[in-house]
Structure 1
Amino acid sequence: MANRVRIEQYSNKKEILKFNDFVSTTVNVTDVGVTAVDGKKILKAGTIIGGKTKSVLLNTGEVVEEKNTTTKAPDAEGVLLYDVDVTYGPREGSMVIYGYINIDKIPKAPVAEVNLPKITFMK
């Protein structure tokens, strides 16, 4: 009898939610402007995002990009729920538009200009 090799992969998604009470929507995450680390371009869970040129909530075909900067923060629309690998181009992701986010589990605290009234950041 031939030896069989069993390969198992385990991966856990990073959990950014403080409570399991949230609303999210599907978005297209752009690969433009995402810096590659170890050959992978990954936009991290907890990244504050919004439509690249217009509101993604009003224009479902619009791609999203990071908005956690002083100049882009006013256009923030939500928080990326899970990591999205955009190494080979834009990919689908989930954007939280209502919920409670654990601020200790996101890559960068929101800048003061971020205005997401339906999202609560807490420890």
Structure 2
Amino acid sequence: MKFIKKSYGGVKEILKTKNFEGIPVMVDDTGITADSNGNKIVKAGTIIGGSTKPTLLNENEPVVKKNTQSSTGSDAEGVLLYDVNVTYGPASGSMLIKGNIDLNKIPEQPCEDAKTALLGRVLFMK
């Protein structure tokens, strides 16, 4: 029999203001490295988008990290609102598609391509 120990704590808040819009998404576990406890956690504030095509056009498309510079621009569609545990495979999460994010509370600063892709919908503030 397998037992899993879980610790429950407060939810990490990445929002600068309380007004936001979000949608449910499936967070892919591909390429996520396990931490020292063996857990694969995709952190709140991770810039995400569909793995092969836009999630906003296909709700069945899983999301992956999209905070990268490229010659064709970023495919960023939103920001992961809360931590998601993908240790046992893809898991559900929430993608912020409109709102204000506190730059001091996210795991990685957004690249210029990601900022451009989210311009007018997501504002990164200090």
Which TM-score applies when normalising by structure 1? 0.90
The structural deviation recorded for 1:30 is: 0.3
User: Percent identity of the aligned residues?
Assistant: 55
If you compute each CA radius of gyration, which structure gives the higher value, 1 or 2?
Answer: 1
Aligned length: 115
The structural deviation recorded for 1:110 is: 0.3
Which structure 1 segments of 5+ residues have no match? 1-8
Provide the rounded CA distance (Å) in 2 between the counterparts of 1:10 and 1:77. 29
Matching of residues 8-87 of structure 1 within 5 Å? 10-38=8-36, 39-71=38-70, 74-87=74-87
Provide the rounded CA distance (Å) in 2 between the counterparts of 1:60 and 1:92. 12
Aligned alpha-carbon RMSD (Å): 1.3
Aligned to 1:6: none
CA contact (8 A) 1:46 1:107 kept: yes
Which TM-score applies when normalising by structure 2? 0.88
Letter in 2 for 1:46: G
